[in-house]
């Protein structure tokens, strides 16, 4: 991987040491040019007219994203963010009284709120599968719960926001397949930094964002829904994009675009396609290899510092690194680092779902392939 070229292709690298890629990564030049170019065209000739002229580029999004994650183009929907993509899938499931929803300790709080809302409205039950010794979801405990029956959905966070680990998504998929249970994977923090293949994982639905490791525009995301189950799900709201009006009734689309809305950030869709192309050209396996190696190096350096505790768990770890420094609040560390041109973030227990007591607030540094060892040194030099 030609890191110097990648950094030259990333204007933000000249301005800042960016280690907040789990929040929003720096976009590469082709993404910037795709978004700006379409916005300029809209300004010049009109939004509808620009969409007509650039119809091929807009349509390319579906092939670009599906190719990146091993899906088919008709299984992809463009959605304005990962939260809405996940919501559209989750709220489309026809839950009934007594249905069980299984999730994990490290679930994101936003998803946990949705579970509780549906449980209260439909009479479903939310059950948290315990972690294994390494901090990831316990496969033995999950299998035992599936064997009891009554499970409508397994909903898993592929890479939690706060502890560095990677959940065993493919192993979970195998168990769900064996028991005939729907499987929703939140891949908000994994697509773009890890190799993600929906066929290998075996998930029925997957949600992701553009702004994080995929390096796309903010305000973009996508949803994958396996072709074989699309027509069993009716989104919580529909419009003339998602369904055809046949007075006095309607018929939802037969593909994943039933989860879209007619109005969308078109320049963002073109930009997200460019981001998917960029990641595919580099190779997801090569990206994962570099990201994981950089994160491991940073953990080693942090662990060697007196008074610094690395909080990451899991056998397989991601590019997210969380840590604390004795006697210093994470917020203060983040602000001090930013004053020195180093971007990090803080992960708060409010976002930690069912795991708030075990994981305190911490500094979160998240690396990407365009980061360098010098970037890691700048962060270390900025710490108290």
Kindly report, residue by residue over 317-357, the tens digit of the pLDDT. 999 999 999 999 999 999 999 999 999 999 988 878 888 65
Residue 227 banded pLDDT, cuts 50, 70, 90:
very high
pLDDT at 359: 67
Burial 55-80 (b: 16+ CB within 10 A, else e): eebbebbbebbbebbebbbbbbbbbb
pTM: 0.96
User: Both tokens of residue 73?
Assistant: 């183009």
35: which strand partners? none
Residue 5 scores a pLDDT above 60:
yes
pLDDT at 360: 79
Residue 22 has a CB neighbour count (10 Å cut-off) of: 27
Interatomic CA distance for residues 355 and 314, integer angstroms: 15
**pLDDT (average), residues 121-141:** 96
Encode pLDDT of 163-203 as tens digits: 999 999 999 999 999 999 999 999 999 999 999 999 999 99
Interatomic CA distance for residues 122 and 85, integer angstroms: 21
Residue 138 banded pLDDT, cuts 50, 70, 90:
very high
pLDDT at 358: 62
**pLDDT (average), residues 56-65:** 98
**pLDDT (average), residues 296-305:** 98
**DSSP alpha helices (H): ranges in the chain?**
3-8, 29-45, 47-53, 55-69, 82-90, 109-122, 139-147, 169-179, 198-201, 266-282, 284-303, 330-339, 373-382
Non-local CB neighbours of 160 within 8 Å, separated by 6+ positions = 106, 107, 108, 167, 189, 352, 355
Quick check: helix, strand or coil at residue 88?
Answer: helix
Interatomic CA distance for residues 199 and 261, integer angstroms: 26
Interatomic CA distance for residues 9 and 7, integer angstroms: 5
């Amino acid at each position: 991987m030609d890191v110097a070229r990648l950094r030259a292709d990333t204007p933000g690298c000249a301005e800042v040491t960016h280690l907040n890629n789990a929040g929003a990564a720096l976009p590469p030049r082709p993404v910037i040019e795709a978004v700006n170019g379409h916005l300029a065209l809209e300004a010049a000739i009109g939004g509808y007219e620009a969409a007509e002229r650039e119809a091929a580029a807009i349509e390319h999004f579906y092939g670009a994203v599906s190719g990146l994650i091993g899906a088919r183009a008709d299984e992809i929907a463009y959605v304005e963010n990962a939260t809405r993509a996940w919501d559209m899938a989750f709220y489309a499931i026809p839950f009934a009284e007594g249905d069980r929803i299984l999730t994990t300790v490290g679930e994101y709080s936003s998803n946990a709120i949705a579970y509780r809302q549906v449980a209260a409205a439909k009479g479903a039950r939310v059950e948290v599968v315990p972690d294994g010794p390494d901090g990831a979801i316990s496969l033995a405990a999950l299998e035992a719960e599936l064997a009891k029956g009554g499970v409508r959905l397994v909903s898993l966070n592929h890479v939690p926001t706060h502890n560095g680990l990677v959940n065993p998504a493919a192993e979970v998929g195998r168990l769900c397949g064996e028991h005939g249970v729907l499987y929703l994977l939140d891949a908000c923090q994994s697509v773009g930094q890890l190799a993600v293949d929906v066929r290998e994982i075996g998930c029925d639905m997957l949600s992701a964002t553009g702004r994080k490791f995929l390096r796309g525009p903010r305000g973009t995301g996508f949803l994958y829904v396996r072709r074989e189950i699309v027509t069993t799900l009716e989104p919580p709201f529909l419009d003339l994009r998602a369904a055809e009006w046949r007075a006095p009734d309607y018929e939802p689309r037969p593909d994943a675009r039933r989860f879209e809305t007619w109005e969308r950030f078109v320049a963002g869709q073109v930009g997200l396609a460019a981001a998917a192309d960029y990641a595919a050209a580099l190779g997801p396996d090569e990206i994962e290899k570099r990201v994981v190696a950089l994160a491991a190096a940073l953990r080693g350096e942090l662990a060697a510092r007196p008074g610094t505790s690395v909080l990451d768990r899991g056998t397989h770890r991601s590019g997210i690194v969380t840590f604390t420094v004795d006697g210093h609040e994470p917020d203060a560390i983040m602000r001090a680092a930013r004053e020195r041109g180093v971007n990090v973030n803080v992960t708060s227990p409010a976002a930690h779902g069912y795991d708030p007591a075990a994981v305190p607030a911490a500094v979160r540094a998240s690396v990407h392939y365009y980061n360098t060892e010098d970037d890691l040194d700048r962060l270390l030099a900025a710490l108290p």
